[in-house]
């Protein structure tokens, strides 16, 4: 990149930091958070300005620890929202706070968003103050991480990385703030309660994130602090990487290949049958970040997502994938291909061709051609009635349902719906609708009773005899 472009990018961030320093004292001693009904909330003054800001001319600029290459090509104008828009945010509510950032739920022009700004009571600011640093220095150190995260989210944009809607860092007397999509924090218990198909989608999201981090526009990136708190679910379904301020931008340094294995966690070395360290090329452990991310992802996520309630015939495929995650020889490309193969197997119905299952006295083949489906449905003890529905009645709760209000499960076809109902003593009927999941599978509503059905074109009703 030409030197002029590089210097331009640096000037943008110098200006940003000067602006940040000018509001530090106001934010540190400004409006306090108000607890209301057990939830901490904050008014718009938290994103406002003050005429009584003291001079902070002696505060240093603190961006030297990061490579200038990170800022190159960043024009300081992510997406569309600007300071004036963010200042108009309504209904601010504190929904999370970490060492560095406070995250607010808010509405801007009627749209729900997340606003990230400096956590004034966070560990970073408090430890800095206890060390005797000025409010300006402490704020700027925390703000620097948020600015780094802004650039990273913008530069590594991906469908499984949180989208940035705008930011404010270049006007005096308004705090540094980044506006993104609003996501739901990951809760382990809630994840385990999701239908297997939804957890499969999350596993695919993990694989895509790993591959993108290994081949990002700014090089192979390392998730140095790999925790579920760094991810959110957007719209309740899509897994997205949300916290990137601790991403490592470089591979570890080395002199020999053996040096690279020294950077691996001891647990990783102990869990792997054969450690294949990264190659030391030009003084860096090439491939280290990628392998470490894969290992952490398997340990923290995928082993909890896929095994529970998976279709029996897919379990060998799943185990092979889990073994790949724990191996130091698999890279993100192999992980992604294996995960996509698992999804394709599930979507196509191939998993139903493998053998038979015997459960509760029933023995049946997992899959048969569609022209035999009517006979199979009858053999399972069901009557098929076309263009029929049982709307709003005989609903009940069941395991693996995608809804708490009823028993709603996706199925490959009507035969699979009949099979599932056969294994459930509460189930007496199934409504096959015209809604489909992200994989294209059909949504089926299981009922614990039946009566004279309502006519509904395109729907099918299975009645247990």
Q: Of the candidates 170, 207, 157, 168, which has an alpha carbon nearest to the alpha carbon of residue 86?
A: 168
Helix axes 288-297, 196-214, angle to 10 degrees: 170
- Within 8 A by CB and 6+ apart from 92, the residues are 41, 42, 43, 44, 46, 47, 104, 105, 106, 115
Report in angstroms the alpha-carbon separations of 443 from 149, 184, 199, 393, 394.
39, 24, 16, 17, 17
CA distance 128 to 99: 12
Query: CA-to-CA distance for 313 and 432, rounded, in angstroms?
Result: 24
Active-site option among 85, 225, 259, 271: 225
Q: Provide the sign of the torsion angle of the four alpha carbons 231, 235, 238, 241, taken in this order.
A: negative
Distance of CA 32 to the CA centre of its chain: 31
**416: exposed, middle or buried (Cβ count in 10 Å: 0-12, 13-18, 19+):** buried
225 is catalytic: yes
First to last CA, the chain: 73
DSSP-derived secondary structure for 395-464: B---TT-S-SSSEEEEESSHHHHHHHHHT-TT--EEEEEEEE-TTSPEEEEEES---SPEEEEEEEEEEE
Is the separation of the CB atoms in 74 and 12 below 8 Å?
yes
Question: Rounded distance, CA 271 to CA 286, Å?
Answer: 21
How far, in Å, are 112, 121, 122, 147, 229 from residue 178 at the CA level? 14, 18, 17, 8, 18
Token digits for 226?
């790999």
Biggest distance spanned by C-alpha atoms of the chain:
84
Q: What tokens appear for 391 in the block? A: 């709307």
Instruction: Give the length of the chain.
Output: 465
**In 3D, which of 411, 409, 413 has the Cα closest to residue 368?**
413
Catalytic residues: 225
């Amino acid at each position: 990149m030409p030197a002029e472009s590089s210097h331009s990018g640096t000037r943008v961030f110098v200006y940003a930091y000067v602006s940040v320093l000018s509001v530090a004292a106001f934010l540190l001693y400004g409006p306090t958070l108000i607890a209301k009904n057990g939830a901490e909330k904050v008014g718009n003054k938290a994103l406002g300005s003050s005429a009584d800001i003291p001079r902070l001319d002696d505060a240093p600029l603190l961006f030297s620890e990061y490579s200038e290459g990170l800022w190159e090509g960043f024009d300081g104008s992510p997406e569309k929202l600007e300071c004036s828009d963010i200042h108009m945010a309504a209904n601010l509510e504190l929904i999370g706070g970490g060492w560095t950032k406070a995250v607010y739920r808010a509405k801007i022009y009627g749209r729900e968003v997340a606003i990230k700004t400096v956590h004034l009571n966070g560990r970073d600011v408090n430890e800095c103050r206890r060390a005797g640093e000025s409010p300006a220095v402490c704020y700027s150190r925390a703000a620097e991480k948020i600015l780094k995260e802004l650039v990273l989210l913008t530069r590594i944009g991906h469908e499984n990385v949180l989208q940035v809607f705008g930011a404010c860092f270049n006007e005096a007397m308004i705090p540094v703030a980044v506006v993104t999509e609003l996501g739901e924090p990951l809760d382990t218990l809630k994840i385990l309660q999701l239908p297997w198909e939804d957890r499969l989608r999350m596993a695919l999201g993990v694989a895509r994130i790993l591959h993108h981090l290994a081949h990002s526009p700014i090089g192979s990136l390392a998730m140095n602090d790999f925790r579920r708190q760094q991810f959110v679910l957007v719209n309740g379904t899509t897994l997205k990487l949300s916290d990137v301020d601790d991403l490592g931008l470089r591979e570890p340094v080395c002199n020999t290949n053996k040096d690279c294995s020294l950077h691996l966690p001891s647990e990783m070395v102990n869990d792997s049958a054969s450690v294949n360290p990264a190659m030391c090329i030009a003084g860096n452990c090439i491939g280290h970040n990628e392998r470490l991310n894969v290992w952490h992802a398997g340990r923290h996520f995928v082993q909890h997502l896929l095994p529970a309630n998976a279709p029996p015939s897919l379990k060998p495929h799943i185990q092979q994938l889990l073994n790949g995650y724990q191996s130091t020889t698999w890279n993100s490309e192999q992980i992604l291909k294996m995960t996509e193969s698992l999804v394709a197997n599930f979507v196509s119905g191939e998993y139903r061709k493998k053998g038979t299952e015997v459960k509760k006295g029933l023995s049946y083949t997992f899959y048969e051609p569609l022209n035999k489906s009517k006979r199979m449905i009858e053999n399972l003890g069901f009557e098929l009635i076309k263009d029929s529905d049982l709307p709003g009645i005989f609903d009940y709760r069941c395991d693996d349902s995608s809804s708490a209000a009823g028993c709603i499960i996706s199925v490959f076809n009507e035969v699979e719906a009949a099979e599932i109902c056969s294994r459930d003593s509460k189930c007496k009927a199934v409504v096959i609708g015209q809604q489909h999941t992200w994989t294209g599978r059909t949504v089926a509503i299981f009922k614990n009773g039946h009566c004279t059905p309502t006519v509904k074109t395109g729907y099918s009703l299975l009645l247990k005899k």
